[in-house]
């Protein structure tokens, strides 16, 4: 007892300073200080010197080599064996901190040596090419902000569910890389080239078939995320990035692109990322992520107080810009246009806000997004009507409702 975990200060609140403050039973704390050799080392100080000190009267630690989260904050992804989910309800604005970007991979995160990394492009090209990471970085670069979302990003069924539980498999970053079209121009496309196969370096050697029109439109090979090298969990040292398309197509740790004239019908695009629709049919190559929104405040597990509440959330569409988000504070009887925080970007999480004066009444609050194609985020009822009772679990983007109790507690209201 009594040590602040400085190595992992946000780790699930096991021994956070907040708990020390509340509990008051501890006697010592660990802080980082600079040693005479200039390295950061841990040292024990009496807890009282930290907790009781007026910070304007005691100098703090010197500058360090890497920043840290405040020990009072505890941000964490929710992880399972196959994925981990972004804590949307704990974030502000629209950029996901890189270490909180969701993960979904099929055989773990490979260790990739950037010195040995190479991308092979072959098949229906004039000249099969191999590019090193350094080669990729020397091409004209492109930077854009865009979301990345897993097409299996929907959970429901319980009232105690947060935005992270419901749709935490979407995140947003500023991505930097080279346009795939720039690389294909170097290799030279042969006549009839209409599809490509993208293949990863993970232990699943994951593959997806991509239509050439997307490859030549806005596909990127990205090597940086939020200003630094892309994280291992996101595909270090380079990944395919297909803005607005289901996350599985943006192959991580990309090692090979084969250009062909037909899809390869990989396991992911046949038995997995397809969905049953009406009449016993199975919908395939459902690439685009339809428009969606979710209120992230107030949402479970938050509790609100009477008075003015700024309702906040994010909205996004894989088909372009968000043009409107409407919020209802009366269980869907009436809708008000929320304010959008600009600049509103193409295929990007967009923040919306609406001021609401809550008088303590029991109600439901909901949001619905409209994108530039005129698509309005549907209800679950509409999705079932369109796809049938036995519809598959991919590409579900229904309106999410939050139930506000009289005491200010906010619970998820599963779709009826």
Partner 1 sequence: MMQKISALFLLSFLHACSADTVRYQELQTEQANFSEETPDNWPKSFGLGKEASVARISSMDIDVRPDGKGLPSGSGTVAYGRSLYLTKCVSCHGSKTSSGIYDRLFSYDQSRVHPDSLKGNKRNKTIGNYWPYATTLYDYINRAMPFNAPGSLRPNEVYSLTAYLLYENSIIDENTVLTAMSLPRVKMPAQKRFVNDTRKGGAEVE
CB of 378 to partner 1, least distance (A): 4
Among 10, 141, 285, 408, binds partner 1 (CB under 8 A): 285
Choose the binding region for partner 1 from 40-48, 60-68, 205-213, 228-236 (rule: CB under 8 A): 205-213
Beta-carbon-side half-sphere exposure of residue 264 (alpha carbons within 13 Å): 18
Comparing CB distances to partner 1, the nearer of 9 and 177 is 177
Residue 106, interface with partner 1 (CB under 8 A)? yes
CB of 324 to partner 1, least distance (A): 13
Residue 283, interface with partner 1 (CB under 8 A)? yes
Q: How many other CB atoms are there within 10 angstroms of residue 8's CB atom?
A: 11
Task: Kindly compute the dihedral angle of the four CA atoms of residues 408, 409, 415, 416, in this order, to the nearest 10 degrees.
Answer: -70
- With 0-12 CB in 10 A as exposed, 13-18 as middle and 19+ as buried, what is 236? buried
Comparing CB distances to partner 1, the nearer of 41 and 386 is 386
Burial 302-335 (b: 16+ CB within 10 A, else e): eebeeeebebbbbbbbbbbbbbbbbbbbeeeeeb
Owner of token pair 């500058």? 63
| Residues 49 to 88 in contact with partner 1, rule: CB under 8 A | none
Among 33, 120, 229, 331, binds partner 1 (CB under 8 A): 120
Comparing CB distances to partner 1, the nearer of 12 and 393 is 393
| Residues 213 to 232 in contact with partner 1, rule: CB under 8 A | 213, 215-217
Q: What is the Cα Rg of the chain in Å?
A: 24
> What is the DSSP track for 220-273?
EEEEEETTEEPPGGGTTT-EEE-TTBBGGGS-SSEEEEEEESS----HIIIIIS
CB of 112 to partner 1, least distance (A): 15
CB of 213 to partner 1, least distance (A): 5
Q: β-pairing, 254-260 with 118-123? A: parallel
Strands (E), 124-245: 129-132, 142-149, 170-179, 195-200, 207-211, 220-225, 228-229, 239-241
| Residues 296 to 355 in contact with partner 1, rule: CB under 8 A | 319-320
| Residues 241 to 260 in contact with partner 1, rule: CB under 8 A | 255-256, 258, 260
| Residues 366 to 405 in contact with partner 1, rule: CB under 8 A | 371, 373-376, 378, 382-383, 385-387, 389-391, 393
Choose the binding region for partner 1 from 26-34, 130-138, 295-303, 329-337 (rule: CB under 8 A): 130-138
Number of residues that bind partner 1 (CB under 8 A): 77
Among 262, 333, 343, 416, binds partner 1 (CB under 8 A): 262
Residue 286, interface with partner 1 (CB under 8 A)? yes
Residue 141, interface with partner 1 (CB under 8 A)? no
CB of 162 to partner 1, least distance (A): 20
Comparing CB distances to partner 1, the nearer of 312 and 321 is 321
CA distance 11 to 178: 36
Question: CA separation (Å) from 394 to 220, 265, 290, 321?
Answer: 24, 18, 11, 22
Choose the binding region for partner 1 from 19-27, 55-63, 115-123, 340-348 (rule: CB under 8 A): 115-123
Owner of token pair 């943006």? 250
Comparing CB distances to partner 1, the nearer of 29 and 391 is 391
């Amino acid at each position: 007892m009594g040590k602040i975990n400085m190595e992992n200060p946000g780790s699930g609140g096991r021994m956070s300073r907040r708990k020390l403050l509340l509990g008051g039973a501890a006697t010592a704390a660990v802080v980082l200080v600079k040693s005479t050799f200039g390295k950061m080392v841990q040292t024990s100080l009496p807890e009282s010197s930290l907790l009781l000190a007026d910070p304007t009267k005691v100098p703090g630690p010197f500058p360090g080599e890497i920043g840290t989260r405040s020990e009072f904050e505890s941000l964490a992804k929710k992880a399972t064996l196959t994925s981990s989910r972004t804590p949307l309800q704990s974030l502000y604005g629209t950029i996901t901190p890189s270490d909180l970007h969701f993960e979904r991979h099929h055989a773990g995160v490979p260790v990739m040596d950037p010195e040995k990394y190479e991308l092979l492009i072959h098949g229906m090209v004039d000249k099969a090419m191999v590019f090193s990471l350094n080669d990729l970085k020397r091409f004209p670069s492109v930077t854009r902000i865009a979301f990345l979302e897993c097409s299996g990003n929907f959970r429901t069924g319980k009232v105690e569910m947060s935005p992270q539980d419901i749709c935490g498999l979407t995140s947003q970053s500023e991505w930097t890389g080279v346009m795939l079209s720039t690389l294909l121009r170097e290799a030279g496309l042969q006549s009839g080239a209409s599809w490509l196969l993208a293949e990863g370096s993970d232990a699943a050697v994951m593959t997806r078939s991509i239509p050439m029109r997307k490859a030549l439109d806005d596909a990127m090979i990205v090597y940086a995320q939020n200003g630094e090298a892309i994280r291992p969990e996101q595909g270090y040292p380079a990944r395919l990035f297909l803005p607005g398309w289901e996350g599985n197509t943006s192959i991580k740790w990309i090692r090979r692109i084969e250009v062909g004239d037909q899809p390869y019908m990989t396991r992911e695009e046949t038995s997995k990322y397809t969905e049953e629709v009406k009449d016993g049919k199975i919908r395939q190559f459902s690439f685009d992520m339809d428009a969606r929104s979710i209120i992230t405040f107030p949402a479970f597990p938050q509790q609100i107080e009477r008075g003015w509440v700024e309702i906040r959330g994010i909205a996004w569409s894989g088909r372009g810009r968000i043009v409107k988000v409407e919020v209802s504070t009366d269980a869907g009887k009436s809708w008000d246009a929320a304010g959008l925080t600009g600049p509103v970007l193409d295929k990007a999480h967009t923040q919306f806000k609406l001021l609401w004066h809550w008088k303590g009444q029991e109600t439901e609050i909901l949001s619905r997004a409209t994108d530039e194609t005129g698509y309005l985020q549907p209800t679950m009822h509409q999705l079932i009507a369109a796809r049938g009772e036995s519809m598959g679990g991919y590409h579900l983007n229904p309106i999410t409702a939050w139930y506000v109790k009289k005491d200010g507690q906010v619970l998820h209201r599963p779709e009826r």
